Amino acid sequence: MAKSTLLTRRKFLIAGGLVGGGLAVAYAFGGNDVPDRAPYASTAGTNEFTLNAWVKISSNGNISVAISQAEMGQGIHTALCMLVAEELEVDVAGITPEQAPIDAVYANFTIIQDSLPFGDGHHRGEETAGAWAMKKVGALLGIQATGGSTSVRNFWLPMQQAGATARQMLIQAAADRWSVPASECYAKAGKIIHDSSDNSASYGELAQAASKLDIPEEVSLKQPSERRVIGYSQQRIDIPAKVTGEAEFGVDVSLPDMVYAAVKICPTFGGTVKHWDESKIGNMPGVLKAVKLENAVAVVANSFWRAKQAVEQLPVTFDDTINSSLSTDGIFNEFEEQLKLDDGRSYAEEGDAKSVLSNSGASKSTATYKVPFLAHACMEPMNCTAIVTDTSVEVWTPNQSNTLISWIAQEIAEVDAENVSVHNTYLGGGFGRKVETDCVSMTLNFAKAFKGRPVKLIWTRENDMQHDMYRPAALAKFEATLDSQGRVQAWHNKVASPSISRAFVQRMLPFAGADMPDNTTVEGAADIPYEFPHKLMEHFPTPVQVPIGYWRSVGHSYNAFFTECFMDELAAKAEIDPIEFRRLHLSDSKDFLAVLNRLEKESNWKEPAADGHFRGIALHESFGSIVGQVVEISVSPDKEITLHKVTCVIDCGEVLNLMV
């Protein structure tokens, strides 16, 4: 393995040791120094000048902004460019988003911080020692990653500061040119103007001089009342190219002399290839070679269609005995057995719920809920294109972490980090699936067999659905008891499921410790806003043979369902209106109450539903946004459900793009 790879992995291991060992070490991995412009300067072409790590301006006035986050339909290119545009005094349409180079300055430390249970809920703040430590770990790792609704939260301030820093440097360059105080100059619409003369200069005219100035350590940001971009409606800058077909997704990548790979993967998790007979496809048109991996065989041909046709006819025998008896019933039986044990990891504990519930007798309410494994089912199936030579690797792939792709490329091709190039295309959906590196690893291994020639691997939809990293199945059991006023006196929630973060870390680092806390598994259960005198939430980590991974809203996707269903059951037992029942348990949560009250009004909750119509309500916080919904349905005599209306109220904090 290349030396630079070992260094990177060592950093990951150090951080993993801090996390897995439960340590919060007060050690500064880095200060608050102004990020150097060097990483972005390495991308500058002729007559392009870099002002800081994010902003680059050409002599003709074109403005580029380094974006380290993947655009997978969520509009992040527009959002981050808006933050720069606001402070740089230009229109969003005048900025071109550009893929940031791989460098620690572009790290998403929030995604690391959120993965462990050291915060106190996004909406309530995260100023804990553990949260601070995880920020430092994230900075140490320097991982560029998109996910967990962290992109805007992580980069709001850095992108604003980038725009403000560039503006101040342009003002200083103009002031130096005109021999006037910088305080007499201001920026407007891509120009610097001298307040008391007719002097003005475009950003393009000033860019070279500004790029030679020191980056200021402190800048003043606009007051909210001065904003003209943030908080207003802005058009998505990626839409025109997507409409015209100019946008390049991973499946669109086309390179000279490219060959194509299609793959047949063992249908049983953990299975391996025993035998294959390449002679059976040797005479098929366009077929170049079959390449074997531990669990799959690929056929490489001069078109994807020919590769797909050949791999479907390729005789392959798999050793699939390892998990051949695996079943859904067996997995949920294991969950049941785990919940019987008294060794769950506690994530939220107040009072003594177990003692109160053990003495509650017949007044205790119980409920059990379960959810299945779910596939990501992205519109764009997994794909990757790579060129491997003896000394370098170049990769084109829709992915959610260029850093992880680079690490994998270094390891498989055995080259140094500086000889790896990763091109992140648009993603036709990601949802957590494209932070995984399985398809990339396959492609790199196939490309090693065709040194110097681009190899493009596309998974079929069948590959994609059968070999996903699935949202975990989960089983939840609840116990609660009510007091004489119908309030919850004690609440105990036990959830059995595999740990997502543990599974992901062990895929990336098989030698990492197996035991680690995992906020992603219990989010939406451990941090519920409802106030109970006695509350206990426990997770029972239950490894399964099914590969699991991050999926859309991760733990929230099932814990919100579990919690809100049980709240409804308790409201029914207490014979209290479901909204009023929630209100009874939110006296100290003004922001949740505000959403609930507005939802009650907007949905006309107090007005009787139409005959045959039924309404349900749910309230939940996920990734910093509180969402309340009322759904109105009807059920026909043959039990067909018709959805009539959904009323939704959201408190997402400060709005960046109004999108109206």
pLDDT, tens digit, 9 for 90 and up, residues 9-61: 444 444 444 443 333 332 233 344 567 899 999 999 999 999 999 999 999 99
Q: Is the pLDDT of residue 308 over 60?
A: yes
pLDDT for 187: 98
Instruction: Round the average pLDDT of the chain to a whole number and report it.
Output: 91
Q: What is the mean pLDDT of residues 359-377?
A: 95
pLDDT for 20: 39
pLDDT for 116: 61
Query: Which of 87-96, 117-126, 247-256, 292-301 has the least mean pLDDT?
Result: 117-126
* 154 neighbors 143 (Cβ within 8 angstroms): no
pLDDT for 512: 61
Rounded-to-integer distance, Cα 292 and Cα 442, Å: 10
**How does residue 128 score in pLDDT terms, banded at 50, 70 and 90?**
low
**How does residue 508 score in pLDDT terms, banded at 50, 70 and 90?**
confident
> pLDDT tens, 139-154?
777 899 999 999 999 9
Rounded-to-integer distance, Cα 381 and Cα 398, Å: 10
May I ask the CATH architecture of the domain 250-321+379-463?
2-Layer Sandwich (3.30)
pLDDT for 130: 63
Rounded-to-integer distance, Cα 456 and Cα 442, Å: 10
Q: Please state whether 355 falls in left (phi above 0), alpha (psi between -120 and 50) or beta.
A: alpha
- Identical fold for domains 250-321+379-463 and 577-651, yes or no, is no
Q: Please state whether 325 falls in left (phi above 0), alpha (psi between -120 and 50) or beta.
A: alpha
Q: Is the pLDDT of residue 357 over 70?
A: yes
Q: What is the mean pLDDT of residues 213-221?
A: 95
In DSSP notation, 231-261 reads TB----TTHHHHHHT-S-BGGG---TT-EEE
Q: What is the mean pLDDT of residues 456-483?
A: 97
DSSP-derived pairing of the beta strands 455-458 and 259-265: parallel
* Residue 91 burial by Cβ neighbours in a 10 Å radius (0-12, 13-18, 19+): middle
Q: Show the tokens assigned to 137.
A: 């770990």
* 607 neighbors 624 (Cβ within 8 angstroms): no
Domain 577-651 grouped into CATH 3.10.450: yes
Q: What is the mean pLDDT of residues 411-416?
A: 96
Return the CATH fold of 31-108+144-244. Answer: Aldehyde Oxidoreductase; domain 4 (3.30.365)
> pLDDT tens, 593-613?
999 999 999 999 999 999 999
> H or E element: which one contains 18?
helix 3-20
Edge-to-edge, what's the strand order for the sheet holding 420-424? 287-292, 296-301, 259-265, 455-458, 383-388, 393-397, 420-424
| CATH number, span 328-374+470-570 | 3.30.365.10
For the chain, the structural domain boundaries read 31-108+144-244, 250-321+379-463, 328-374+470-570, 577-651
Rounded-to-integer distance, Cα 440 and Cα 408, Å: 8
Sign of the CA dihedral running 106, 112, 114, 119: negative
Question: Smallest Cα–Cα separation from 142: which of 50, 44, 10?
Answer: 10
